[in-house]
């Protein structure tokens, strides 16, 4: 902290000067404005050690989400392209999908409650809500499998028509990505169950561990949003 204050003063003057010259990149002083002593945006320690505050977990989660978004954007455009062909036919969607939608929304909400409890330091409540989020997530997977079974029972398979192909593909891939989220939740639950929460074994600071929770939560909410989006696509664009 001491270093930051020491340099704040020296930083101001050249910055104003550079701004006047229009040299946004030519900032004086060792610290870029607004960034504190580390280069990263999250104001932790400097540079090579800055990963210890866990900001990279949050950034990594956002970047991962960007990649998954692009995957499903590609499938969406393929879906719309294919839907414009003459042989497009639709299938009655199983009603259990509404249940699964409710389940994953509830799971997302439970995780959010858990995260708030953690922030307030109520560890027992955190564990309970985390567990319920995990159970609801598992129930979502079961509901999705039920939907598949109902379709199979109705004689609708992957190759029945293009719509059913996309249905199995999109739900399947969403489920696959969701399993990653479930694994993340399991990991959080396992770690929350540890007596010392890993701190005694030098696994990073509390801030770092909070960042892991944030990253998993972010991904899980994204899985929730992704399902709602896919459901809307499959339901409305037929």
Partner 1 sequence: MSEAVPHADSHGPEEGHAAAHHHTPPSGFIRKYIFSLDHKVIGIQYLLLALFSVFVGLIMSVLMRLNLTWPDHKWPLLGTIFKAGAPGGQMSPEFYLSLVTMHGTIMVFFVLTTAPQGGFGNYFLPIQIGADDMAFPVLNMLSFWTTLLGLVVLITAIFVEGSTAFSISLHAKSGLAKFAETYLGGGGSGTIGPIGGWTGYPTLSALGKIAGPGQGAGATLWITSIAIFCVASLLGALNFITTLLNMRTRGMSLMRMPLTCWSWFTTAILALLSFPVLLAGGILLLLDRHAGTSFFIPGNLVVSDQLLTQHAGGSPILWQHLFWFFGHPEVYIAILPGMGATSHILSTFARKPIFGYRAMVFAMFAIGLLGFFVWGHHMFISGMSPYSGMAFSVLTLCIGVPSAVKTFNWLGTLWGARIRFTVPMLFAIGFVSLFVAGGITGLVLGQTSLDLSMHDTYFVLAHFHLVMGVAAIFGMFAGIYFWFPKMFGRMMSDTLGYIHFWPTFVGVYAIFVPMHAMGLVGMPRRYASFAEYVFLNKTHPLVMLVTVAAIVTAAVQLIFLFNFFWSLFKGRRAGDNPWEATTLEWAVPSPPPFDNFGGRVPTVYRGAYEFAVPDAPEDYVMQTTPDERAANAPALAGAGEQGGEVTGNGHHDGHH
Q: Write down the least CB distance from residue 229 to partner 1, Å.
A: 15
How many residues touch partner 1 under the rule CB under 8 A: the total is: 76
Q: Which is nearer to partner 1, 29 or 138 (CB)?
A: 29
Q: Does 39 bind partner 1 (CB under 8 A)?
A: yes
Q: Which is nearer to partner 1, 112 or 197 (CB)?
A: 197
Pick the closer one to partner 1 by CB: 50 or 107: 50
One of 206, 232, 237, 238 touching partner 1 (CB under 8 A): 206
Site mask, partner 1, residues 143-162, x = CB under 8 A?
---------------xx--x
- The least CB distance from residue 69 to partner 1, in Å, is 8
Q: Quick check: 15 and 28 in contact, CB under 8 A?
A: yes
Distance CA 33, CA 39 (A): 10
- Report how far residue 146's alpha carbon sits from residue 141's, in angstroms, rounded to the nearest whole number: 9
Question: What value, to the nearest 5°, has the Cα angle with vertex 209 and ends 206 and 213?
Answer: 135
Q: Does 94 engage in binding with partner 1 (CB under 8 A)? A: no
Smaller CB separation from partner 1, 16 or 153: 16
Our CB check for partner 1 shows the closer of 81 and 95 to be 81
Site for partner 1 in 162-201 (CB under 8 A): 162, 165, 169, 173, 196-197, 199
CA neighbor of 123 nearest in space, from 17, 40, 206, 24: 206
SS (H, E, C) the chain: CHHHHHHHHHHHHHHHHHHHHCCCCCCCCCCCCCCCCCCCCCCCCCHHHHHHHCHHHHHHHHHHHHHHHHHHHHHHHHHHHHHCCCCCCCCCCCCHHHHHHHHHHHHHHHHHHHHHHHHCCCHHHHHHHHHHHHHHHHHHHHHHHHHHHHHHHCCCCCCCCHHHHHHHHHHHHHHHHHHHHHHHHHHHHHHHHCCCCCHHHCCCCHHHHHHHHHHHHHHHHHHHHHHHHHHHHHHHCC
Which 51-90 residues touch partner 1, going by CB under 8 A? Answer: 51-52, 55-56, 59-60, 63-64, 66-68, 70-71, 73-75, 77-78, 81-82, 85-88
Minimum CB distance to partner 1, residue 135 (Å): 25
Among 20, 24, 124, 153, binds partner 1 (CB under 8 A): 24
- Can you tell me which of 6, 8, 20, 38 binds partner 1, judged by CB under 8 A? 38
Smallest gap from residue 97 Cβ to partner 1 (A): 21
Q: Cβ closer to partner 1: 48 or 155? A: 48
């Amino acid at each position: 902290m001491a270093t930051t204050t020491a340099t704040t003063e020296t930083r101001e003057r050249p910055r104003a000067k550079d701004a006047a010259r229009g040299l946004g990149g030519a900032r004086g002083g060792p610290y870029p404005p607004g960034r504190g002593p580390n280069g990263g945006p999250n104001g932790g320690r400097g540079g090579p050690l800055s990963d210890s505050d866990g900001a990279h977990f949050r950034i990594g989660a956002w970047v991962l989400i960007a990649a998954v978004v692009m995957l499903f954007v590609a499938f969406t455009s393929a879906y719309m392209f294919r839907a414009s062909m003459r042989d497009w036919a639709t299938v009655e969607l199983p009603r259990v999908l509404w249940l699964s939608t409710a389940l994953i929304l509830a799971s997302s909400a439970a995780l959010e409650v858990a995260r708030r409890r953690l922030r307030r330091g109520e560890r027992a409540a955190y564990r309970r809500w985390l567990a319920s989020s995990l159970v609801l997530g598992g129930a979502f997977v079961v509901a999705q499998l039920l939907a598949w079974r109902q379709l199979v029972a109705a004689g609708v398979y992957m190759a029945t028509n293009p719509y059913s192909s996309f249905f199995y593909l999109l739900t399947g891939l969403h489920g696959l990505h969701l399993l990653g989220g479930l694994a993340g939740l399991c990991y959080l639950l396992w770690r929350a169950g540890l007596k010392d929460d890993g701190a005694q074994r030098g696994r990073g600071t509390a801030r770092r561990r909070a960042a892991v929770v944030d990253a998993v939560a972010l991904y899980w909410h994204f899985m929730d949003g992704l399902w709602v989006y896919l459901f809307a696509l499959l339901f409305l664009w037929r």
